[in-house]
Structure 1
Amino acid sequence: MLARIVLAATLALTVTLAAVTGAAAQEPDLIFKKSTVWRALTPDDKLAVYGIDDPVVEGVACHYTTPERGGLSGTFGVAEEVSDISLSCRQVGPVTFKQKVGQGDVVFSERRSLIFKKMQIVRGCDAKRNTLVYMVYSDRPIEGSPKNSTSTVPLMPWGTAMPPRCGEWVK
């Protein structure tokens, strides 16, 4: 009995912390949605395209496409979303680093199920090619997820401004 109470309290704390920390993170910009599965009485399954700006590297934006479940479970926010997420990142202005970056730093994170799954976009630097590398993946604490997508952003001159060397900004 005590084990069940502890488990329930732990789950409640996890959900609360996820809600609090998720609120502080940047919200992605919804670009558009496209229905993929028609459902008669509940919302359709959709593909949704979102845009985010790298919070540490100005001048880089990423777009990702993710499936969103409809139906009753999707309506109530309890559907576990699949891990098929595509990613594309580009230089959209002169690149400047706000601070040092680590290899594999999280750029954006979002829950994909009530508790156990989240999608993350992480960043690294290929110093030899002066290219930022972004990867999106979803993870589960128990079994993980092999599905992922990668996008690269070669740092190029913008107008008269020469690009920084990403290797000089890695921790």
Structure 2
Amino acid sequence: MRLAIAALMVGLALPGLTVAEEIGAVDTVFKWLGPNHRIVVEAFDDPMVDGVTCYLSRAKTGGIKGGLGLAEDRAEASIACRQVGPIRIKGKLKDGDVVFKERTSLVFKTMQVVRFFDESRNALVYLVYSDRVIEGSPQNAVTAIPILPWPVTQ
């Protein structure tokens, strides 16, 4: 019962960030019971910057535990963010702002994407990494977008 209450509290504590849209997936391991292990590709838009979409690929654990949401997903991920329209910053950007966060285990592990603004190079930098309450993972991936004028079509 305590574990269920702790899980609920952690779930409620996660900020209401952007929800990712699944673009596609491939199976990596066949499982007799439950869903297969797979790699998913998801897309999400930066909530503070119009004109930026990030694509995230990551492993999702299948099997019975994975199907019930009890398995822990691997820490590896890849990210590619792109300018998809005119870039418009909606407010003051703080370095290290979390733009996407999703739990990757029942309670203690999350995968998150944070944004940095490299003002001297006029670029947005996005970092994906996994953290855990006790011990995080050094595995990470980074992508950068130069802020360029968007061509006007007529």
Structure-2 residue corresponding to 1:74: 66
Gaps of 5+ in 1: 161-171
Q: Helix, strand or coil: the match of 2:120?
A: helix
One-letter code aligned to 2:143: S
Structure-2 residue corresponding to 1:123: 115
Q: 1:13 to 1:45 in 2, by over 3 A?
A: same
Structure-1 residue corresponding to 2:89: 97
Structure-1 residue corresponding to 2:127: 135
Structure-2 residue corresponding to 1:53: 45
Q: How far has the Cα of 1:48 moved from its partner?
A: 0.3
One-letter code aligned to 1:96: R
Between the aligned partners of 2:56 and 2:106, the Cα distance in structure 1 is 21
Between the aligned partners of 1:155 and 1:14, the Cα distance in structure 2 is 42
Does structure 1 residue 27 correspond to structure 2 residue 13? no
Q: How far has the Cα of 1:143 moved from its partner?
A: 1.4
How large is the Cα RMSD of the aligned pairs? 1.7
Q: 148, 156, 170: which is aligned to 2:148?
A: 156
Between the aligned partners of 1:156 and 1:138, the Cα distance in structure 2 is 30
One-letter code aligned to 1:71: G
Given that 2:18 and 2:46 are in contact with CA atoms closer than 8 Å, whether structure 1 keeps it comes out as no
What TM-score results when the alignment is normalised by the length of structure 2?
Answer: 0.92
Q: Helix, strand or coil: the match of 1:119?
A: strand
More strand by share: 2
Q: Helix, strand or coil: the match of 2:84?
A: strand
One-letter code aligned to 2:131: D
Between the aligned partners of 1:100 and 1:27, the Cα distance in structure 2 is 22
Moved more, 49-58 or 67-76: 67-76
% identity of equivalent residues:
43
Q: How far has the Cα of 1:26 moved from its partner?
A: 2.4
What TM-score results when the alignment is normalised by the length of structure 1?
Answer: 0.83
One-letter code aligned to 2:91: Q
Between the aligned partners of 1:140 and 1:34, the Cα distance in structure 2 is 26
Q: How far has the Cα of 1:13 moved from its partner?
A: 4.3
Does structure 1 residue 112 correspond to structure 2 residue 82? no
Structure-2 residue corresponding to 1:167: none
Paired positions, count: 152
Structure-1 residue corresponding to 2:54: 62
Q: How far has the Cα of 1:127 moved from its partner?
A: 1.1
Gaps of 5+ in 2: none
